[in-house]
Amino acid sequence: MGQALYRKYRSRSLDEIVGQEHVTNTLREAIKRGRISHAYLLTGPRGVGKTSIARILAHEINNLQYTDDSTHIDIIEIDAASNRRIDEIRELRDKVNIAPTSAKYKVYIIDEVHMLTKEAFNALLKTLEEPPAHVVFILATTDAHKLPETIVSRTQRFNFKPVDKTKVIDHLKVIADSEGIKASDEALQLLAEHGEGSFRDSISLLDQASNQTGKLELSDVQTMLGIPPKRSIDEIVDLLSQQNNSASLVKMLESLFMQGYQAASIAKQLSGQLRQKIVNNQLNIGQAEAVKLLDSLIKVPASHDPERYLEICLLEIATSSNKPSREVQRQDVKAEPVVEKAKASTKTTVESPEQDLAEFNPDIWPEILAVLKQKHNTLYGVVRMAEPTFENDKLRLAFGFSFHQKRSSESANRERIANIVNQITGKDVTIECVVDETATPPKVTISVEKPTPDHNLSTISNIFGEAELLES
């Protein structure tokens, strides 16, 4: 059985570590001077070399040669994920006082140290406070924030960072050449991007992709990773800015779903494409819409129905960017005053109770949506796609797509809408939801009074820092 590539090409010395020079240079100099700490803490994302450096360090401070198959009685590795109880740490504490058998230092490597229980941490702390001179602890974790501060303060902490993409690509080229794997630059670049700064993950993906016949091309990697074609993503972005193309947008999504592409993968690619257009100042939709869409795309994987959620997110942007033939005259409705009005009029009788609801059209609809957005934001995203018609004691909602109609027709959702209409008008209404391909939802802009958001979109972190930004 062949050896996995990530194990075959694992670093054997500090000099072979790539992308963590700020760590390896410091450790190399400390070893040279003989300034060995009793405890080290290695933190950072997965697959960037924490475990490799821990093993190399354990050997080099003992002047031992390290290989992937190296074992030594005085170098003990503990997986905290499976040895997290206080009993295991107490056993460790009892054994640390025993001098090393042949090495200068007895080294304990505790991987995934954040998995220890509170009691186990307390037991470990006593050892870290007064360790024997012959013992060195090397703690490694991806979640340093889960460690007690008392533990962190008694270690030398080294923060690992994701490896630069160009370094990952160069490393993959070296491995590919050594293994006789023919791969295009575009294919290697995509593997590196999907590895997200992890050498191990990137090499594992190359190992998987190497099973392809012939030269490894970009399309082969896309198929393997389930990544939708770039041209499809570009087409979706273009459709968002075009008028009256909601149907085309839905058909494009349905086509991608039928080809087996996951909503989460589509959302990730769309997010990356939008971010790139922001950086290059090539947005063809409004900045506020772009920010709102980015925020929504992040939530797609966690949704109970990712496909429908993604459709709603895109349709909401597409319809808000278009100019329907029938626009609501009153464009801006302040949500907070509407809520106050709703509270004041809940379950009360208006002065003209017999007044036909049709007289409120179109002004009443933005008010209904404003309250709905505050109380039931997900339902708001569906209902805003409707063309409303008031007929005495009935509110008819016409949707262009059946999945909107079905969602709104649920008894609980119809009751929610009816209650909000009652709050605002004092009238009891029935809700009718129908499918009408000719339906045109009115354009309604709902703004919430809040500090003016920073629309300097050159900094992507600012984009993801806001839960929701609305047009002012």
**DSSP string for 150-181:** HHHTTSEEEE--PPPHHHHHHHHHHHHHHHT-
Of the candidates 338, 351, 318, 275, the one whose C-alpha atom is nearest the C-alpha of residue 441 is: 318
Angle at Cα 147 formed by Cα 146 and Cα 150, nearest 5°?
A: 145
Mean pLDDT confidence for 279-298: 81
Q: What would the pLDDT profile of 377-387 be if each residue is shown by its tens digit?
A: 778 888 888 88
Helix (H) or strand (E) holding 23: helix 21-33
Q: Half-sphere exposure of 436 toward its Cβ, with a 13 Å CA cutoff?
A: 15
pLDDT exceeds cutoff 70 at 82: yes
pLDDT: which is higher, 54 or 363: 54
pLDDT, residue 422, reads 84
Does residue 408 have a pLDDT over 60? yes
- In terms of C-beta distances under 8 Å and separation of at least 24 residues, what long-range contacts does 36-39 make, across chains too? 36/61, 36/105, 36/136, 37/136, 37/155, 37/156, 38/128, 38/131, 38/135, 38/136, 38/137, 39/128, 39/131, 39/136, 39/137, 39/138, 39/139, 39/154, 39/155, 39/156
Taking each continuous run of H as one helix and of E as one strand, the counts in the chain are: 21, 10
**Whether residue 371 has pLDDT greater than 50:** yes
| Least confident interval from 128-137, 161-170, 391-400 | 391-400
For the chain, what is the radius of gyration of the CA atoms? Answer: 30
Report pTM: 0.58
Separation of alpha carbons 31 and 58, rounded Å? 11
- Apex CA 313: angle with CA 309 and CA 315, to 5°? 115
Higher pLDDT, residue 343 or 226: 226
The yes-or-no verdict on residue 339 having pLDDT over 60 is no
List the Cα angle 297/302/307 in 5-degree steps. 65
pLDDT at 58: 93
The type of residue at 30 is A
- Residue carrying structure tokens 């209902």: 383
Q: Is 287 helix (H, G, I), strand (E, B) or coil?
A: helix
Query: What is the predicted pLDDT for the residue at 377?
Result: 78
Q: Which residue has the higher pLDDT, 310 or 336?
A: 310
Name the more confident of 422 and 284: 422
pLDDT at 350 > cutoff 70: no
Residue indicated by tokens 């963590």: 20
- Whether the CB-CB separation of 313 and 297 falls below 8 Å is answered with yes
Answer for the pair 357, 429: CB distance below 8 angstroms, yes or no.
yes
Question: Beta-carbon neighbour count of residue 21 at 10 Å?
Answer: 11
Q: Is the predicted pLDDT of residue 355 greater than 70, yes or no?
A: no
- pLDDT in the model for residue 326: 37
The predicted model gives 255-278 an average pLDDT of: 87
362 pLDDT higher than 80: no
DSSP labels, 436-463: -TT--PPP-EEE---PPP---TT-HHHH
Type of residue found at 464: F
Per-residue pLDDT band for 446 (boundaries 50, 70, 90) equals: low
Q: Give SS3 for 75.
A: strand
Mean pLDDT score of the chain, rounded to an integer? 80
Asked if residue 446 lies in contact with residue 333, where contact means CB atoms within 8 angstroms, the answer is: yes
Which domains are seen in the chain, by residue range? Answer: 5-159 (3.40.50.300), 165-225 (1.10.8.60), 230-321 (1.20.272), 332-442 (3.30.300.180)
Distances (CA, A) of 385 to 240, 332, 390, 409, 440: 15, 17, 16, 14, 8
- Residue 122 CA from chain centroid, whole number: 33
What pLDDT, on the 0 to 100 scale, is given for residue 443?
A: 74
pLDDT given at position 24: 92
- Dihedral of CA atoms 397, 400, 402, 404 in degrees, nearest 10, equals -60
Q: How much is the pLDDT for 147? A: 92
**Per the omega criterion (within 30 degrees of 0), is the bond before 366 cis?**
no
Model pLDDT for residues 298-316, shown as the tens digit of each residue: 989 888 888 988 988 888 8
User: Tokens standing for 419?
Assistant: 């209650």
Residue 19 has pLDDT above 70, yes or no: yes
- What's the average model confidence in pLDDT over 264-293? 83
pLDDT band at 173; cut points 50, 70, 90: very high
Residue 2: predicted pLDDT: 62
Does an H or E element contain 315, and which? helix 306-321
Is pLDDT at 178 greater than 60 in this prediction?
yes
Q: Which DSSP letter does residue 216 get?
A: B
Q: What phi and psi values does residue 39 have, to the nearest 5 degrees?
A: -155, 130
CB neighbourhood size of 250 (10 A): 18
- pLDDT at position 447: 57
